[in-house]
Amino acid sequence: MKEFLEGSRTVARTVRLCRPGVIAAYPITPQTHIVEDLAQMVADGELDSQFINVESEHSAASVVLGAVAAGVRAFSATSSQGLLLMAEVIFNIAGMRLPLVIVNANRAVSAPINIWNDHQDSVTVRDAGILQFYAENNQEVADLVLLAYRVGEDPKISLPALVCMDGYILTHGHEVVDIPEQKQVDKFLPEFQPVVKLDPENPETMGYLGTPEIYMETRYALQETMLEALEVITSASQEFERIFGRALPPFYEAYKLEDAERAIVAMGSVAGTIKEVVDEMRQEGQKVGLLKLITYRPFPADALYEALENVPEIAVLEKAISMGAFGPVYTDLKASFQGKEAAPKISGFVIGLGGRDVSKDSIRRVFEELRGPQTPAKFMDVKTELVTA
């Protein structure tokens, strides 16, 4: 049913439809509305779930780890410092091969403290073995939560997933969303069948000492599984369309990319602004396009190569940077094109950190910059006069 809802509420309503048995989270801006809503649903008896209050994000992640280990579907949500505090546990959740979904309200990382949006928090945990999806709008957040459970719980995969939504822009933005019917969700997401679980009748050990004789194999298995997830994501997205009647592209959305001479690659809500600029510039006769990256981990390198190989000039627009190097998506994309013949010219741009507005004008300037020399990590809209040498 179509409703006008806040992003956080959209997530809470969708999570309710997923019937998690355990929810644990710690409040943090701008994620709080999500778990506030879920707590209310549990208190009102609208959601049959254990809502476990914890004293930190480290504990929240540990509680959901335990819940999934016991064979129960679980959910958590966090943001920024909270995600970083969860990081140690997230590596364990992935290593123990426990599927669960965490929604991250993307927010900048301290210091200085900043509660506004960028992607530094989630890209920082990209190496953990957790699937990562980025949403452009609230409908996509809801759809990706469903997809994330479905892919993560696939017995071939059995991995956690992080669904990323831009803090404030999406969490606090109201949009019309189509919340699916319970029976549709039940069909897409049948009861959780854990590959292994803690069971006194049939004891198991999880995450016990991996000596040098076996540790490397566990990491190899994680890497191989991540790559296998690319196929599972593809089939799950087809199944999604069959059941819910709307498309959810598996890896990326191509927007006016076919004949584009210049294209921007970006993740998250900024894609909406870019689409507007693309429309305007197309009207002026400029062949520009957008590739909105949805699946960041696993990185769909081959799919991106195919989508972008004929675009001569590409800008990777990122709300994050690996300090002292480049933007993380820029690095991955460059690696995907490394050694290929007639590879596009790929430039990296850092934009919108800590809630700095990304205007249509900024996007236009990025397209303009593409005409100039290749830049690896150019900060856009930065007031250099405020910084002393």
Partner 1 sequence: MYAPLITKPGSSLERKTGSWRTNLRPKFLQKDCIACRLCYLICPEGCISGKEKNTFISDYNYCKGCGLCAGVCPKDDIEMVPEGETK
Q: Does 220 bind partner 1 (CB under 8 A)?
A: yes
Q: Does 200 bind partner 1 (CB under 8 A)?
A: no
Taking CB under 8 A as the criterion, the residue among 42, 52, 70, 206 binding partner 1 is 206
At 138, list the tokens. 């609230």
Which single residue is written with the structure tokens 């689409």?
A: 275
Residue 55 CA from chain centroid, whole number? 25
CB 229 to partner 1: min, Å: 11
* Nearer CB in complex with partner 1: 204/241: 204
Backbone angles phi, psi at 372, to 5 degrees: -85, -165
CB 314 to partner 1: min, Å: 32
For residues 173, 265, 154 and 212, what is the CA-based torsion angle, rounded to 10 degrees? -120
Q: Is 25 strand, coil or helix? A: strand
Q: Distance between terminal CA atoms of the chain?
A: 56
Q: Which stretch binds partner 1 (CB under 8 A): 170-178, 179-187, 200-208, 237-245?
A: 200-208
Q: Interaction with partner 1 in 291-310: which residues (CB under 8 A)?
A: none
Q: Does 208 bind partner 1 (CB under 8 A)?
A: yes
Taking CB under 8 A as the criterion, the residue among 13, 16, 73, 97 binding partner 1 is 97
Yes or no: say if 327 and 267 are a contact pair by the CB < 8 Å rule.
no
Q: Does 211 bind partner 1 (CB under 8 A)?
A: yes
Q: Is 104 strand, coil or helix? A: strand
By CB under 8 A, the count of residues binding partner 1 is 24
At 300, list the tokens. 């769909």
Q: Does 225 bind partner 1 (CB under 8 A)?
A: yes
Amino acid letter for position 185? V
Distance CA 316, CA 127 (A): 20
Q: Does 203 bind partner 1 (CB under 8 A)?
A: yes
At 167, list the tokens. 């803090």
Site string for partner 1, 228-247 (x = CB under 8 A): x-------------------
At 76, list the tokens. 């958590």
Q: Which stretch binds partner 1 (CB under 8 A): 108-116, 218-226, 263-271, 285-293?
A: 218-226
Binding region for partner 1 (CB under 8 A): 95-97, 158, 195-196, 203-211, 213-214, 217-218, 220-221, 224-225, 228
